[in-house]
Amino acid sequence: MQGVLAGFATIGIIIGLGFLLAQLKVLDATAQGVLTRIAYYVASPALMVTVLGGTDVHRLLSANLIASLASVAVSATIAVLLARLIWKREAGETVIAAFCSAYVNAGNLGLPIAAYALGDAALVAPMLLVQLLVLQPTGLAVLDSITHIPSPGISRRRLLLIRVTRPLRNPLAMGSLVGLMLALTGIKLPVLINVPLTLVGGIAVPSMLLAYGISLRLGPRPGAGEPPSQVGTLVLLKLVIQPIAAYLIGAYAVGLDGRDLLAVTVIAALPTAQNVFTLAMRYERGVILARDTIFVATLLSVPVILGITWLLAF
């Protein structure tokens, strides 16, 4: 339990610091943009290389991976259908809605909870893999395709090549692919490369959280910018539907039990990741939707995770 509470306390303190610095006018909207770009283009790719590259490949390719993938697919699919058919959101906002419903905070919250509450940080690796190599590249491919408009007169062959290779040029996707290749091959980066990468990757999460705190101060107050019913539905998908899917598939489809079943359920119940807000800022799609969903999901996930831990661990 202490690991769960410590993880949430760390997040809250750094977000609060960003809010305070914006209130004191030390940081403004320009600083928020700079922090977002640093996290997106530099720090997050470095973090993906070091986190995935240092993960045991057997932990990545396990039954937990199937349960994690299925839970993401269930929640994200429902969100896409609702966003497109009921809420009439455009494609970019639909991607952000899907991220809000299924992209868990597996990094700065999942890692400490897995380490201290579940007893093994590697238990979060399958969800990281699903998000970084399936959910994120798929969503970014859509966002890239609608954000970058090719110049007039471009040939069809060139246009196809651009669309096919664009996800591979995304910094987060590249960092994830490099990290996965390191894990699969067992190659260890030289100290002169690994140490700077680790140092740079260490600023990814603080940058995201500070930028998020600035947004809470400078943007519309939570609940005022997006329909509460839509935010509430995405939070329900994130904190209830996704962990239920993970539990049912883990227990009855792939035969998980004990700590492994607890792990996939708790990790699926983690709140929406702060880097969803970073992506929303980067592509200028669904920014307030992401911010409000993260805010509400983070608050409500504390009793949800504690309840799941109590139910399944005892």
Domain map (residue ranges) of the chain? 2-313
DSSP lists the bridge partners of residue 272 as 104
What mean pLDDT comes out for the span 238-259? 94
More confident residue, 258 or 195: 195
**CA neighbours closer than 13 Å in the CB half-sphere of residue 273:** 28
pLDDT computed for residue 161 by the predictor: 63
Name the most confidently modeled range: 14-18, 249-253, 304-308. Answer: 249-253
pLDDT band at 158 (very low <50, low <70, confident <90, very high): low
Residue bearing tokens 């930028």: 211
**pLDDT confidence band for 71 (50 / 70 / 90):** very high
Query: Taking the model in full, what pTM does it have?
Result: 0.75
pLDDT of residue 244: 97
Residue 81 has pLDDT above 60, yes or no: yes
Return the higher-pLDDT residue of 313 and 237. Answer: 237
> Which residues sit opposite 104 in a β-bridge?
272
pLDDT in tens, 221-244: 666 678 899 999 999 999 999 999
**pLDDT value at position 9?**
78
Identify which has the larger pLDDT, 158 or 192.
192
Q: What is the pLDDT of residue 278?
A: 84
Place of tokens 């920014």: 287
Say yes or no to pLDDT of 82 above 80: yes
| Residue 303 to residue 220: CA distance in whole angstroms | 26
What mean pLDDT comes out for the span 15-35? 91
**Cβ contacts of residue 126 below 8 Å, gap of 6+?**
59, 60, 62, 64, 65, 67, 68, 264
Res. 154 pLDDT band, cuts 50 70 90: low
Q: What is the pLDDT of residue 87?
A: 95
Q: Which of 232, 240, 8, 213 is nearest to 102 (CA)?
A: 240
**CA torsion angle 125 131 137 142 (round to 10):** 180
- Under CATH, what is the fold of the domain 2-313? Na+/H+ antiporter like fold (1.20.1530)
